[in-house]
Copies of this chain bind each other. A is one copy, B any other.
């Protein structure tokens, strides 16, 4: 299924900048960055739960915001993209 992860990390402090890097790094390991703080990840519920636990330990819940949107398996018709930074089909043929 497709899980959309969006986040806002408060980067006013150096600690915040570190948290932002860590959150992005984890998300990059699990999916495709489609915008600065927006990732599309193909995962099952268990994988998502694991990533959620990891990210929860990284963020500062008083300052940072983390959102997961579950778009299911038939997600291609549920997304419209306009403009720069086109995303690629993570479940499409891998052309080398």
Binding site for B on A (CB under 8 A): 4, 6-8, 10, 34-38, 52, 55-56, 59-72, 77-85
Contacts and interface: CB of A to CB of B under 8 A. Distances in A.
Contact of A65 (B10, B34, B56): B34
23 contacts: A4-B69, A6-B6, A6-B34, A6-B38, A8-B36, A8-B85, A35-B37, A38-B38, A55-B82, A59-B83, A61-B82, A61-B84, A65-B83, A66-B82, A67-B79, A67-B80, A68-B80, A68-B81, A69-B69, A69-B79, A70-B77, A70-B78, A70-B80
Contact of A62 (B10, B65, B70, B84): B84
Contacts of A72: 78
